[in-house]
Amino acid sequence: MALAGLALLWGWEDYVRLSSTWFPALTTMKLNTAFGLSLSGVGLWLSASERAPGWTRWATRLLGLIVVSLGLATLLQAVWGIDLGVDRLFAHETMPSGGDRMSPNTALAFLLGGSALMLLDAPTRRGPWPSG
């Protein structure tokens, strides 16, 4: 998942042109979506090892917080109809691809997935961690 997201970030503009040409009826992936997907994948990769150093837990939580923030800001834009500038945070999309915002469904998935990353190794009163 991390590699797919990073590949989309690397070739994002070419991806938008290619998918707009081959599949003109479908919308293309927004750069924010590829960025959130990449951060989620890197967070999962960091937490994959049982003997990972302590800093990886904090890095995973930080990546989860960034993904949650991205999803929450996008949802707030969709619900309240305001412009927080999240869509132009990384780049201004120049290709006509069926809208300029991440889908609210994707934003909700980022909100939930980022929350899961943040709570992945959180200790509980009973001892076992939610992911264990």
C-beta separation of 101 from 87 below 8 A:
yes
Query: Residue 120 CB: number of other CB atoms within 10 A?
Result: 19
Give pLDDT, residue 64.
95
> What are the structure tokens assigned to 34, written together?
């590829």
Q: Residue 41: which of 76, 89, 8 has the closest Cα?
A: 8
Residues whose CB falls within 8 Å of the CB of residue 18, separated by 6 or more in sequence, listed in order: none
Model confidence pLDDT, tens digit, residues 16-53:
556 555 666 666 677 788 889 889 999 988 888 777 67
What six digits make up the tokens of 99?
């809208």
Looking at the predicted structure, is the pLDDT value of residue 112 above 80? Answer: yes
Residue pair 1/40 in contact (Cβ under 8 Å)? The answer is yes
Task: Find the mean pLDDT for residues 99-117.
Answer: 87
Confidence of residue 95 (pLDDT cuts 50, 70, 90): very low
Question: Residue 93 in 3-state DSSP?
Answer: coil
pLDDT (0 to 100) of residue 123: 72
The better pLDDT of the pair 102, 16 is held by: 102
pLDDT band at 96 (very low <50, low <70, confident <90, very high): very low
pLDDT value of residue 98? 47
Of residues 78 and 15, the one with the higher pLDDT is 78
H-helix segments, the chain = 2-10, 12-22, 31-46, 54-80, 104-118
pLDDT of res. 66: 95
